[in-house]
């Protein structure tokens, strides 16, 4: 996530807002310390974002997953 200082944010506000509208969030810093995070209005809140586990229950991993293709790989390496 890009961080911009207060002066740069004032100077490039319209560009930064356009980028945020496309989903690219940024942080505004004052004296080197983050003070605001700017995101698109319709982006999900931090607690609402689901990344890991979003496909839970949608498919099953075979028990032999770590051994799948083992024979073919061994043949490729001449074992």
For 48-71, the pLDDT digits (tens) are 565 677 778 888 888 999 999 999
More confident residue, 44 or 10: 10
Q: Is the pLDDT of residue 44 over 70?
A: no
Helix (H) or strand (E) holding 79: none
CA distances from 12 to 32, 47, 50, 63 (A): 18, 29, 31, 54
Q: Is the pLDDT of residue 9 over 70?
A: yes
Asked whether the beta carbons of 5 and 30 are under 8 A apart, the reply is yes
Give me the chain's average pLDDT, please: 86
Q: How confident is the model at residue 45 (pLDDT cuts 50, 70, 90)?
A: low
Asked whether the beta carbons of 16 and 4 are under 8 A apart, the reply is yes
């Amino acid at each position: 996530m890009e961080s911009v200082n207060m002066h740069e944010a004032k100077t490039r506000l319209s560009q930064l807002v356009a980028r945020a509208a496309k989903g690219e969030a940024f942080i505004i810093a004052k004296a080197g310390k983050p003070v605001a995070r700017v995101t698109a209005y319709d982006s999900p809140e931090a607690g609402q974002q689901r990344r890991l586990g979003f496909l839970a229950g949608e498919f099953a991993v075979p028990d032999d997953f770590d051994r799948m293709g083992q024979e073919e790989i061994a043949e490729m390496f001449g074992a």
